[in-house]
């Protein structure tokens, strides 16, 4: 009289679902990358450092999902995917005291934005990780992509969803009586000459600037830099706060409906934090469908 007891164990993988754009950065004090402050745990858990295999700081990046990072195309340079080392869960990638939160993976694949050749035109790239990052609450988490969040922010003036997103971005930037503030973060130089450098992740707030105003400011300063819809500008008229060399590829996030949305990717600039010269960013929303296509095709 044998009795068979069948025990069914359902292994439910709850680990792969996580909310994007979480941040303890609700009351954002003003910090410095140039003119910023050191970031704290939980404020920017989607920011990743990109290093060479020898541990040289190259650029910043942001986590989109377990497998994919977004950065600037010029950060890739001549490197092959495996020559780029991504470090997540670390405020100071050069320090080993954070070993418990730290996650490291080389790139397995790199995709440059369609049409990218060099420099700061179409300056966007996606990196697929060799070993996927694991979500760690407050330490390693994804950033939100603009998608629907951007529509709610930029289209509420007209109520029209079929608008040109970039035009609407500009209109919203101009109309805001309160400036739209973004937070940019990275391990780059703390001043234009690279005299002060910090191994700690720094963050700073900068207001978005419309494309027309941005182009005009560069022109006034004697630089002809066309700001088309693939780009975004951010900075204070008086300067003083900005991204700088080494911050490239890092995220410019804007808090929308309580989550951090990846709005720009650090791309270029004339010097750093100079009065009247904003920082140049790649406009993430312009590349949204390419990003989504690429990261969905291969998880």
Q: Which stretch binds ligand ARG (CB under 6 A): 80-88, 96-104, 266-274, 288-296?
A: 266-274
248 a catalytic residue: yes
Nearer to ligand ARG among residue 55 and residue 77 (C-beta)? 77
269 binds ligand ARG, rule: CB under 6 A: yes
* Shortest Å, Cβ 272 to ligand ARG: 4
36 binds ligand ARG, rule: CB under 6 A: no
- What is residue 287's DSSP assignment? G
**Catalytic, out of 123, 170, 191, 247:** 123
Nearer to ligand ARG among residue 232 and residue 295 (C-beta)? 232
| CA distances from residue 9 to 6, 12, 217 in whole angstroms, order as listed | 10, 9, 64
Candidate list 242, 262, 282, 283; residue touching ligand ARG; CB under 6 A: 242
Give the whole-angstrom CA distance, residue 190 versus residue 196. 5
Contacts of 169 (CB under 8 A, 6+ apart): 150, 154, 232, 283, 285
Nearer to ligand ARG among residue 21 and residue 268 (C-beta)? 268
63 binds ligand ARG, rule: CB under 6 A: no
Residue 248, both tokens: 């490239």
Report the C-alpha dihedral over residues 269, 273, 275, 278, rounded to 10 degrees: 40
289 a catalytic residue: no
Contact 288, 61 (CB under 8 A): no
Candidate list 188, 207, 251, 264; residue touching ligand ARG; CB under 6 A: 188
262 binds ligand ARG, rule: CB under 6 A: no
* Shortest Å, Cβ 255 to ligand ARG: 20
Q: Which residue has the tokens 């900068």?
A: 206
* Shortest Å, Cβ 100 to ligand ARG: 29
3 state SS of 92: coil
3 state SS of 57: strand
168 binds ligand ARG, rule: CB under 6 A: no
272 binds ligand ARG, rule: CB under 6 A: yes
291 binds ligand ARG, rule: CB under 6 A: no
* Shortest Å, Cβ 245 to ligand ARG: 5
141 binds ligand ARG, rule: CB under 6 A: no
- Nearest residue relative to ligand ARG (C-beta): 269
Q: Which residue has the tokens 């929308």?
A: 256
74 a catalytic residue: yes
3 state SS of 86: strand
| CA distances from residue 153 to 56, 83, 146, 159, 164 in whole angstroms, order as listed | 38, 38, 10, 11, 13
Nearer to ligand ARG among residue 114 and residue 119 (C-beta)? 119
DSSP characters for 20-32? SS--S-SS-----
3 state SS of 289: helix
Candidate list 172, 266, 284, 291; residue touching ligand ARG; CB under 6 A: 266
Name the CA radius of gyration of the chain, rounded: 20
Residues that bind ligand ARG (CB under 6 A): 188, 242-248, 266, 268-269, 272, 279
Q: Which residues are catalytic?
A: 74, 123, 248
């Amino acid at each position: 009289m044998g009795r068979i007891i069948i025990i069914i164990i359902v292994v439910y993988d709850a680990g792969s679902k996580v909310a994007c754009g979480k941040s303890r950065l609700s009351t954002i004090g003003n910090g410095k990358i140039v003119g910023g402050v050191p970031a704290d745990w939980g404020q920017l858990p989607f920011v990743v450092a990109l290093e060479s295999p020898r541990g040289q700081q190259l650029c910043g990046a942001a986590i989109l999902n377990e497998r994919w990072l977004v950065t600037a195309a010029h950060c890739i340079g001549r490197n092959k995917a495996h020559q780029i080392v991504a470090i997540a869960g670390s405020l100071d990638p050069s320090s080993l005291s954070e070993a418990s939160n730290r996650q490291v993976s080389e790139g397995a694949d790199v995709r440059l934005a369609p049409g990218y050749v060099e420099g700061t035109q179409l300056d966007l790239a996606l990196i697929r990780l060799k070993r996927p990052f694991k979500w760690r609450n407050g330490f390693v988490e994804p950033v939100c992509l603009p998608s629907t969040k951007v529509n709610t922010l930029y289209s509420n003036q007209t109520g029209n969803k079929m608008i040109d997103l970039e035009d609407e971005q500009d209109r919203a930037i101009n109309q805001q009586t309160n400036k739209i503030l973004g937070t940019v973060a990275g391990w780059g130089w703390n001043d234009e000459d690279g005299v002060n450098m910090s191994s700690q992740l720094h963050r700073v707030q900068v207001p978005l600037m419309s494309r027309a105003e941005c182009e005009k400011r560069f022109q006034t300063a004697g630089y002809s830099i066309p700001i088309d819809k693939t780009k975004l500008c951010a900075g204070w008229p008086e300067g003083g706060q900005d991204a700088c060399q080494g911050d490239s590829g890092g995220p410019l996030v804007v808090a929308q409906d309580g989550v951090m949305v990846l709005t720009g990717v650090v791309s270029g600039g004339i010097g750093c934090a100079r009065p009247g010269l904003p920082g140049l960013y790649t406009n993430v929303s312009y590349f949204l469908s390419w990003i989504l296509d690429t990261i969905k095709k291969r998880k």
